[in-house]
Amino acid sequence: MTERFSLPHLDISQRKRDGEYQAPSQYRGGGSAPRIREEHGSRLRRELETAFAVMNQQSPPTPDGIEPAGGKYVEVEIVRQRKVDKLERKDDGMKPGAVRMEPNEALTVALFVPDAARPVLERILEDYTGGELTVAGNPPNRNFVEPIEAFRVARLQTFWTDDPNALPDDPETEFWWEVWCFSGAEESVSAHAQQLRAVVGEAHYWLRFPESTVVPIFTNRVTIELLLFATFGIAELRRASASPVFFTDENREDQFDWAVNLAERTTWPGNEATAICLLDTGVNRAHVLIEPALGTVDMMAINSRWGEDDQAGHGTLMAGLALHGDLTPRLVDDSEMELKHRLESVKFLPPDGFGANDPKSYGAVTQSGVSISEINNPERKRVFCMAVTNENVSGSRATTWSAAIDQITSGALRDEGEEPKRRLFVVSAGNIPEHIERSRILPNDEYPIEDPAQAWNAITVGGYTNKVAVAEEDLQDHEPLVDVGALSPHSRTSVLWPQGKTAFKPDVVMEAGNRVVSPDGESVYTADSLCTLTTGSDVDRQPLSPFCATSAATAQVSRIAAMLTEEFPDYWPETIRALIVHSAEWTQTMEDELAAARGLRDRYPSLRRFGYGVPSLERARASAINDLALVAQNHIQPYKSGGGRRFSDCHYYQLPWPLRTLEDLGEAEVELKVTLSYFIEPNPGASSSVDPQRYQSFGLRFDLMRPLEDSQEFLQRLNTKEREDPKDRVRFAAEDNRWMLGSQSVSAGSLHCDVWRGPAAQLALRNMLCVKPTMGWWRNRASLEVCNQKARYALVITLRTADIEFDLYTPVNAVIETNIDVEIET
């Protein structure tokens, strides 16, 4: 049963707005009668008291895990031509939010009053009513009280500063809201909204101003009203209106001016900055939003006769998103921008008039493109971005192209004795044909991810969408094809690939746009308003252009990768990949699909649709106060050959759990997330398609202590040499069922991620984790020198509570400071 709650609007003053009672005009002149002063002050005190009483009675119960805000909003009406900031009392925490002008020109203000400030406000009114006059003959607190005409119960409309007609009458109609938050309160508002199952827009779409941050939230009025009770961070509400159509249709003639404005607000990167190397159709460097971040020397081509410019347009579209992300919020936002990464371009595809690349040579061409960029600037850090696929060739088995990417990323192509040079590659999953006839469009699962996106070491990017607001005038009777947070209609999946023999792909999904359906349900179109906005190849006449599908998604993920690489220069490519995947979270739509699965295996198809979710630069950068991240980079020797070839090292991590803190949390839910990332050297022989262990040079897995298992039992379960008699068959503690995917999900691939959710007390004593090797061709099919060589990996672990206000960082940090070295045993 759905319970609905509304914030009532009670006109406590019981007076007409046409002026039946006027606040004391004599007082405003400086010398009013005491009777009028007392009447005005007493009425305001009664109205305030009644407003608080009504709100205490009418406040809906907050959902589990959410504490109500420590205060109340009241609606304040003040006389015209008075300054709203007179209501603010910073020392007491009282602050005005939304301001709306009424038909009689009075101002209605949403005023937040903390619980601790309520007696202060009451005392201000009391002193005004009966306190001694000042030397000048004025009552106390005159400047604060006299402009106030009335106190009323705050309602949702108190915060609504948009066109009244833009607010739907149906309280359960969902749409994108602009939630204007007080500066510093946006994270709390976002977290509370997600606990209420609202969809919060990616942080890239937040608009930041000196005193407020605008957070896009997709939900209904009922949830917004609950959110107002749960947090004091909301200043005002509007309907979200930013759309690419504003720039591509409504203001097409002003596109160049908009682009120049953003360019002038941007601080551009130096030549030494990390670069995104685009393997594409070239880039039109003359674009005002590209030229400062792409040097002429960094414009390259596989074949010098092709030229470096972009005749096809695709590379320039990629360049804008790779540098700036979706341009729509950046153009609307008037703040200063700073870019810390730059671009390189290797023209990978021939222009018209030249023969197409032979598909059999795609691997060699890719390797050539990588070599060209590195020879051009050997010292620069870079991320490779390639949104080119072998059309309609399924990636269900390794090809020369996908294996070449695995070779490039792992550094397998090196001279004898040379240290491997690892590289980070971001590739697209491939797109579904954009048929107009709906009858021709098959489900996403019927379109397998295309070659070379099956490469184990690459970050493969699919698409999802949050775009459902159709802005085109001629499409107002059309509906979005998929809902908010769903898989984009452009994105392919690996559901048809053999489970257990192929890696889970895509790894992550990013905004790839939506499509619209005609009123009769028979036709489907791609609408500009449901796309991202980027740099167009017509740099003078149409420098802004809509862009969608998995190419757009891939460019955005490469941007995150480059920004992390620049910010954390000591992190390996394997670590950057781990951070990106670890930062990914499933949308509510994806979570619902996973929750509906009957067992762990039934969740695997979902993982093959949208991977580990939507990555976040902010989550990858650092953990919040209730979200602790531990990052490890280590070398490991998987095998050794002395006395026969066998497994060598296991790494055991003593995790710094705050034991007492977790025990105090008891049955409260915590979330443990583990991501393990490493790069394998490929062996794409005939049998590798049926046996992943023949394809990988080595494999790694992680294992956490099981319930009721102590450290000695944990060691004995994983290593027979820890047992008194290695030949004894010992019964060990069973694995619990709180992992989202479980150990059986890990059979192929070089990236493994899983989430454990359960009571904090159950996790308290499970404070040891192991990284252990599995079979690979290094062990049995390589030379002794190769068998004994070391590999490396990155491990990311986070511990998070569902309680937004709970501080896990302090107790865990205390454990780390007293025991700095995380234990690793071999």
Amino acid 88: pLDDT: 87
Q: Hey, which of 409-413, 418-422, 445-449, 642-646 has the most confident mean pLDDT?
A: 445-449
Of 65-69, 428-432, 443-447, the least confident: 65-69
Distance separating alpha carbons of residues 468 and 414, to the nearest angstrom: 48
Sign of CA dihedral 598, 599, 605, 609: positive
Of 16-25, 30-39, 389-398, 810-819, the least confident: 16-25
Q: Give backbone dihedrals phi and psi of 329, rounded to 5 degrees, phi first.
A: -70, -30
User: What single string gives the DSSP state of each residue in 670-715?
Assistant: EEEEEEEE--PPP---GGGGT-HHHH-S-EEEEEEPPTT--HHHHH
The proportion of the chain whose per-residue pLDDT surpasses 90, expressed as a percent, equals 61
Q: How high does pLDDT run on average in the chain?
A: 87
Amino acid 90: pLDDT: 86
Does the model's pTM come out above 0.75?
yes
Distance separating alpha carbons of residues 657 and 817, to the nearest angstrom: 12
Instruction: Tell me how long the chain is.
Output: 826
Question: What are the tens digits of pLDDT across the range 439-478?
Answer: 999 999 999 999 999 999 999 999 999 999 999 999 999 9
Amino acid 808: pLDDT: 63
Contact (Cβ atoms closer than 8 angstroms) between residue 602 and residue 636:
no
Contact (Cβ atoms closer than 8 angstroms) between residue 717 and residue 663:
no
Mean pLDDT of all residues in 59-79: 71
Mean pLDDT of all residues in 645-667: 87
Amino acid 613: pLDDT: 98
- β strands within 723-778, DSSP E: 751-759, 768-774
Of 162-166, 653-657, 670-674, 806-810, the least confident: 806-810
**H-run or E-run covering 364:** helix 362-376
Of 28-42, 570-584, 698-712, 730-744, the least confident: 28-42
pLDDT confidence of 6, banded at 50, 70, 90?
very low
Distance separating alpha carbons of residues 330 and 648, to the nearest angstrom: 52
Contact (Cβ atoms closer than 8 angstroms) between residue 394 and residue 448:
yes
Q: Hey, which of 108-122, 607-621, 681-695 has the most confident mean pLDDT?
A: 607-621
Contact (Cβ atoms closer than 8 angstroms) between residue 120 and residue 37:
no
Distance separating alpha carbons of residues 696 and 675, to the nearest angstrom: 19
Distance separating alpha carbons of residues 196 and 792, to the nearest angstrom: 41
Amino acid 217: pLDDT: 97
Amino acid 626: pLDDT: 43
- For the stretch 119-126, contacts whose Cβ atoms lie closer than 8 Å and that sit 24 or more positions apart, written own/partner, are 120/89, 120/92, 120/94, 121/48, 121/92, 121/94, 122/45, 122/48, 122/49, 125/41, 125/44, 125/45, 125/48, 126/41, 126/45
Amino acid 69: pLDDT: 59
Amino acid 20: pLDDT: 37
Neighbours of 27 (CB within 10 A): 18
Neighbours of 563 (CB within 10 A): 21
The proportion of the chain whose per-residue pLDDT surpasses 70, expressed as a percent, equals 88
Cα separation of the two ends of the chain: 55
* 687 alpha carbon, distance to own chain's centre: 39
Question: What are the tens digits of pLDDT across the range 174-224?
Answer: 999 999 999 999 999 999 999 899 999 999 999 998 889 999 999 999 999
Question: What are the tens digits of pLDDT across the range 555-594?
Answer: 999 999 999 999 999 999 999 999 999 999 999 999 999 9
Q: Does 210 sit behind a cis peptide bond, omega within 30 degrees of 0 on the bond before it?
A: no
Half-sphere exposure of 624 toward its Cβ, with a 13 Å CA cutoff?
Answer: 18
Neighbours of 637 (CB within 10 A): 16
Amino acid 747: pLDDT: 77
Mean pLDDT of all residues in 622-644: 77
The amino acid sitting at 469 is A
Mean pLDDT of all residues in 731-758: 87
